[in-house]
Amino acid sequence: MGRVGVLLLNLGGPEQLEDVRPFLYNLFSDPEIIRLPFPWLQKPLAWLISSRRAKTSQENYKKIGGGSPLRRITEEQAIALRQQLEANGHNAEVYVGMRYWHPFTEEAIAQIKRDNISNLVILPLYPQFSISTSGSSFRQLETLWEQDPELQKIDYTVIPSWYRHSGYLQAMADLISRELDQCPNPDRVHIFFSAHGVPQSYVDDLGDPYQKEIEDCTKLIMQTLNRPNDYTLAYQSRVGPIEWLKPYTDEAIEELAHKGVKDLMIVPISFVSEHIETLEEIDIEYREVAEEAGIENFYRVPALNTHPVFINDLADLVEEALRAPRVNFSKVMRPQKTFKLYPQERWEWGLTTTAEVWNGRLAMIGFIALVAELISGHGPLHFVGLL
């Protein structure tokens, strides 16, 4: 089989406060995160958003120690996976490739080439597929493969999503059971699954399977858990004025409190590692929302991190992928190539939603032009004496 490698894909996160702004710039430069009709507008808009959000984001990272633990935890997962594969009789190297911060995917690929890996399993650390997470990384890798003859010699396979795998479900159920067993009235606790959200248009107009997979995943976890508790699924981390997947986590917590729920247990469903969205958004922001709404007991299930059942399941996924027929990027990404344009990318006359979106985009272009002129000191407004 030759030298075997496993590439773990994740988002990445700023490790110190000075990393926050460039991390945000990389994030919003990705067209899978913010889709624009004019590609030339992507980087100016990313610069503007990252500049405006940097201070607030830095304050949030200060609350969790000044940086994200995501790299450290992902590297611990990589080490644990390599050890488990070795215990199973496989001599495999495991690499970490982050989308928006070090170690970047390109850095991992360079090391894979130096190590002369001939068989590669590409495993995103996102249990459910979304075009904005796994899809973004696969698209980047597909481009790297197309441009590099050396990479084309590597026999690779992709694992698109794996939320239905029994070991993952068992690990999640085990973490929830551990927390429930510490509660005074475990059967009374309302289990609240909070998933990272995506814009509603990703599902409606791009065919993103993420919502369906998340809903399916929560049902399977509850079946595996086999407890009588009621449960809710909601979505967090929305950004901007557009509609995201609903219900929103903060609103759903308030609604449950108004219905009389007193004991709430948050389960981070789309995250396998602790990071800003669990440590700050859930543990601090949503805890405050819950307490103000009248929730008396707020519990939170930890992320999987290096849970041994989870690590063993990742090893099973790798072994199965090595035995199965290869799955290439084109097979995974082909559906995206037939997706319709976003509604806001199709022009319509009249007082329509799309017209409003386009007016907003034109206003944003004008604003960016104004910022550029203020910085450079040159432009039409200076010419006519308005600046």
- Mark the binding-site residues, compressed into ranges: 196, 277
Tokens representing 103 are 């170690």
Residues 96 and 82: beta-carbon distance below 8 Å? no
Q: How far is CA 27 from the centre of its chain?
A: 11
Going by the annotation, the residues of the binding site for Fe(2+) are: 196, 277
- C-alpha 102/C-alpha 96 separation (Å) is 9
* Bridge partners, residue 124, by sequence: 9
SS3 category, 206:
helix
Residues 54 and 22: beta-carbon distance below 8 Å? no
Tokens representing 151 are 């990479």
Answer positive or negative: Cα dihedral of 101, 196, 122, 305. positive
Residues 282 and 272: beta-carbon distance below 8 Å? no
- C-alpha 224/C-alpha 204 separation (Å) is 30
Residues 168 and 221: beta-carbon distance below 8 Å? no
Whether residue 247 is preceded by a cis peptide bond, meaning omega within 30 degrees of 0, is: yes
Tokens representing 118 are 């001939």
- C-alpha 196/C-alpha 235 separation (Å) is 5
Residues in the chain: 387
Place of tokens 């600046």: 387
Within a 10 A sphere around the Cβ of 355, how many other Cβ atoms? 14
